[in-house]
A and B are shown apart, each in its own frame.
Chain A
Amino acid sequence: MAVCIAVIAKENYPLYIRSVPVQNELKFHYTVHTSLDVVEEKISAVGKAMADQRELYLGLLYPTEDYKVYPSHMIIVYYTPVCMFFILIENILLYRHTRYGYVTNSKVKFVIVADSSNTSLRDNEIRSMFRKLHNSFTDVMCNPFYNPGDTIQSKAFDSMVSAMMVQAS
């Protein structure tokens, strides 16, 4: 169900973004970016330091958001000696994407954008996904060759994320 998974650094730049329907990647980037605002809001709302991992999980960021996906289909091509008309018909598909956030103690944020059109993911599943993400992220951090702030290029991390997205869809 996860269609996009993003890891955002403390300074709010992305360390890792991956989405499954690749053609809409930019839109997912946008979605993740907007959800950062919500994350920040939640973080600041909590106030003092939270040590409990439970609180790292921010839960649903937006109740649901109607997200419009516009694949454009070229259905009719008119060719006249004079000019060509391309008629594009946009199919507006409405996906409801649910965003979930998770913040680590070091203010690294994980955002999962999930497609709620399928069976909605249970909260526990999302939590476990975040936990796995967190663990893989820690593994990446442990690697001395990884400089914090670089984009994450670890194959293990990639495979874990792919597994999560593939399973979901």
Chain B
Amino acid sequence: MESLTLTDVEQKYYSDLFVYCDTDNTKKVASNGKVLDLFRAAQLPSEVVLQITELCGATRLGHFGRSQFYIALKLIAVAQSGLPLRVESLNSVKDLPLPRFVVAKNEQEARHTAMYPDLENQGPYQGVIPRPPGRGQVKKVSPDTTSPVVSPHQSPPTSPHAWRKHKRQASGGNVERPPVVVAGAVWTPFREAQSGPVVVGDGMWSAHSPPPVQESWVSLKDTYPPSSSKMIISICYFPLNVSLGSNEIQRQSSSGYDDPWKITDEQRQYYINQFKTIQPDLNGFIPGSAAKEFFTKSKLPILELSHIWELSDFDKDGALTLDEFCAAFHLVVARKNGYDLPEKLPESLMPKLIDLDDSAEVPDQAPDVGYSGSPVEVTPNKSPMPSLNQTWPDLNQGNEQWETFSERSSSSQTLTQFDSNIAPADPDTAIVHPVPIRMTPSKIHMQEMELKRTGSDHTHPTSPLMAKPPELSEETKLATSMKFVTANSGKCQGMFHYHKELRTIAVCRSNSGTSPEGLKVAAAPPPPPPRPNASHSRSSSLDMNRNFAAHPTGPQQSGVVACPPAIPPRPLPTQTSGPHSGHRSDEGLAAHSTTSPQQIPEQPNFADFSQFQAFAASDQPSDDGEKHPESLPVSQTYSIIQNLFYQLCSVIRKETETAKGSIMAPPPKPVRRRLKSEDELQDEALPPKSNVIATVLATLPSIPRSVGKDKKAIQASIRRNKETNTVLARLNSELQQQLKDLLEERISLEVQLEQLRPFSHL
């Protein structure tokens, strides 16, 4: 025979087959027995088989030596590819697929036996597979064709098994013979070559009659690595294994590694039933000890069970929710079937709040849906997280918190708080849209969670999330790296607080077990400082202090810091842009156009701002030279508006002191709103500001200082001040909104930065 060149894969494959057939270890194989069985399993007509044996010289020799065997295998491959059998074709055919041997079901084996009457070896294969003993649960599964784990018909489970036995064992189909490769060999290649071979195998086998299950199984052979023979899997759980695998292969043909981990509906139903036996409440937890007992019954080594637990206890609370339990159970089943445990929990096993595929969880969905509706009523403000957590106590806590955040966020998004201070009566204001007051943190959390969800590719209960307004889309990047934190979300006390939360989010322990981003774990995050002081580290400018000397500037003077995350310093446009942007923001806010300072000018609606506008116009030239960064200095505008507020309030206060009217000055607001980026204010910005202030003061010229001098005038001035007040309040809220948006942007950017920054330290 001529020399045969084999590829490495082929070489390995053939040598394994040879070893398989070479039961006597004599380096030559008899032409009967396993070799023939093998050849028959190739599903070639018998005359082809004969031809092959003849071609390879075995008939001459009377037995198959190694080379003959290899040649025969190659010829089988040739024949299976439909090429004519020729000796020359041995080496000439490139890229010949490995010869495939059919994995026969029991019925198929029977068919084979029928087809090949001289087969005496096939028979014993049937019914040889033992049923899994041990775990009651598993036991229940395997013999039952309707059980979730077993595929629709029982034969597939046996088929790969049979195939392997075919390859490896004596024709007696003895189970006792150590199934060296048996499960392992097929499983490892199976595992490793999910998509490609499956697809390929399916395609290749299309010409043949074997059922798809077998095709998929058979295709495994293509990637048969001899090294896998090291794996020894308990044969007992084999059928379970096979059925599981075949199920999974069947169901997911193309996607990849995660697919085998996907829990089918039947399996999930089974797991849920098992969960019920331990914990009747589907929304409850299984404590660790009970779970330990349960899974110990599976007779897996403790180390592996420990690893499975680590993978599946997603929130690390020592208890298993339904999802976690299903994941754990699934991993146990897979492990028993020979799958290696993954290092990380596969995506499809991650506990989800709502599994849309699972009918058993539909009742859970109802509350979720209910939730998305209900939050609308819930006042978004105070600690949305805790309220949400209360409302979803039963669901998986850790995960639920994610979900809750997402739900919450949607609610907070949809919610709009109307500032009661805003008097809509002002006819001049063109802006009548409701201004959401809700502070950012909940949104941030929500979005982070959402991002985490979307990042981890879950099928999420989409409706509330998808309904997210586009403005939050920028935060989608957030969650991918942020592992969520539950504790601090409750502290949503102000925008500035978000800074702290950002840090604590990054810093607090992640829910997931592995946090490759190297999250720093912080001690309990510092309690939120009182609002006035809680804004960023940017201390108030001294000029501002000077301006408001009369004003209680205590909070301003404390240059406080709530651990602000490092933010690239904005090239600060001058303060003049502040009023500009402030003004602009009034009408620009709705459009969220935050950048162009040039939009300012149209303030025609604000009669009260006319003076400012005059100034704005005067300041405009100085503005032109400035380029605002894209991420606009909301902080500036904010500071500007705050300044305005302070000024106005001081003015108002002064007047209220003199006049008798009571003005609804928004005292808390100016005090609260720390000038966020005061330190970014440049000195040159201040003089215009003081000019503005002077102007404001000047515009209230007619206010008589003496009490009772002219009540009407006083009242008029009071009215005017009130109007100005409301206008400013509205402006303030609008700017706050802008600020929020920018802060969110900043969060996302910081997160990105964090992601990109190489971890140089812990």
Q: Can you name 11 extra interface pairs (CB under 8 A) apart from A134-B521, A142-B316?
A: A125-B761, A125-B762, A128-B520, A128-B761, A128-B762, A139-B513, A144-B318, A145-B292, A154-B306, A156-B513, A167-B518
A146 to B289: give the CA distance in the assembly, Å. Answer: 11
Asked whether, in the complex, the Cβ of B761 is within 8 Å of the Cβ of A145, the reply is: no
Q: Considering the complex, which residues of chain B in the window 672-707 have a beta carbon less than 8 Å from any beta carbon of chain A?
A: none
5 CB-based A-B contacts, threshold 8 Å:
A131-B520, A142-B313, A145-B302, A145-B305, A153-B303
Asked whether, in the complex, the Cβ of A131 is within 8 Å of the Cβ of B518, the reply is: no
Residues of A within 8 A of B309 (CB): 143-145
Asked whether, in the complex, the Cβ of A155 is within 8 Å of the Cβ of B316, the reply is: no
Q: Considering the complex, which residues of chain B in the window 514-531 have a beta carbon less than 8 Å from any beta carbon of chain A?
A: 514, 516, 518, 520-523
A59 to B517: give the CA distance in the assembly, Å. Answer: 25
Q: Knowing A125-B761, A145-B292, A145-B305, say if A156 contacts B310 (CB, 8 Å).
A: yes
Asked whether, in the complex, the Cβ of B523 is within 8 Å of the Cβ of A54, the reply is: yes
Confirm or deny: B291 has a beta carbon within 8 angstroms of a beta carbon on chain A. Answer: yes
Chain B: minimal CB distance from A4 (Å):
15
Residues of B within 8 A of A135 (CB): 509, 521
Asked whether, in the complex, the Cβ of B306 is within 8 Å of the Cβ of A145, the reply is: yes
Chain A 33-71 near chain B by CB (<8 Å), digits 1 or 0: 000000000000000000001100000000000000000
Chain A 122-135 near chain B by CB (<8 Å), digits 1 or 0: 00010011011011
Asked whether, in the complex, the Cβ of A132 is within 8 Å of the Cβ of B513, the reply is: no
Asked whether, in the complex, the Cβ of B310 is within 8 Å of the Cβ of A143, the reply is: yes
Asked whether, in the complex, the Cβ of B514 is within 8 Å of the Cβ of A156, the reply is: yes
Partner of A167, one of B313, B343, B521, B762: B762
Partner of A142, one of B305, B318, B759: B318
Confirm or deny: B288 has a beta carbon within 8 angstroms of a beta carbon on chain A. Answer: yes
Residues of B within 8 A of A159 (CB): 343, 514
Partner of B310, one of A125, A139, A163: A139
A77 to B299: give the CA distance in the assembly, Å. Answer: 55
A131 to B295: give the CA distance in the assembly, Å. Answer: 31
A2 to B762: give the CA distance in the assembly, Å. Answer: 11
Chain A interface residues toward B at CB < 8 A: 53-54, 121, 125, 128-129, 131-132, 134-135, 138-139, 142-146, 153-156, 159-160, 163-164, 167-168
Chain A: minimal CB distance from B518 (Å):
7
Asked whether, in the complex, the Cβ of A143 is within 8 Å of the Cβ of B520, the reply is: no
Chain A: minimal CB distance from B340 (Å):
12
Chain B: minimal CB distance from A114 (Å):
11
Interface centre among B288, B289, B306 (most CB of A within 10 A): B306
Residues of A within 8 A of B521 (CB): 128, 131-132, 134-135
Chain B: minimal CB distance from A120 (Å):
12
Asked whether, in the complex, the Cβ of A129 is within 8 Å of the Cβ of B762, the reply is: yes
Q: Knowing A53-B523, A131-B521, A156-B514, say if A144 contacts B310 (CB, 8 Å).
A: no
Chain B: minimal CB distance from A65 (Å):
22
Residues of A within 8 A of B302 (CB): 145
Chain A: minimal CB distance from B414 (Å):
36
A168 to B518: give the CA distance in the assembly, Å. Answer: 13
Asked whether, in the complex, the Cβ of A132 is within 8 Å of the Cβ of B313, the reply is: no
Confirm or deny: B460 has a beta carbon within 8 angstroms of a beta carbon on chain A. Answer: no
Residues of A within 8 A of B522 (CB): 131
Residues of B within 8 A of A160 (CB): 514
Chain A: minimal CB distance from B525 (Å):
13
Asked whether, in the complex, the Cβ of B343 is within 8 Å of the Cβ of A163, the reply is: no
Residues of A within 8 A of B316 (CB): 138-139, 142
Closest to A52 in B: B523
Chain B 283-304 near chain A by CB (<8 Å), digits 1 or 0: 0000011011001000000110
Chain A: minimal CB distance from B519 (Å):
8
Residues of B within 8 A of A154 (CB): 306-307, 310
Closest to B514 in A: A156
Asked whether, in the complex, the Cβ of A155 is within 8 Å of the Cβ of B343, the reply is: yes
Q: Considering the complex, which residues of chain B in the window 714-762 have a beta carbon less than 8 Å from any beta carbon of chain A?
A: 759-762
Chain A: minimal CB distance from B303 (Å):
6
Closest to A125 in B: B761
Chain A: minimal CB distance from B285 (Å):
12
Chain B: minimal CB distance from A113 (Å):
15
Asked whether, in the complex, the Cβ of A143 is within 8 Å of the Cβ of B762, the reply is: no
A135 to B761: give the CA distance in the assembly, Å. Answer: 17
Asked whether, in the complex, the Cβ of B514 is within 8 Å of the Cβ of A142, the reply is: no
Closest to B521 in A: A131
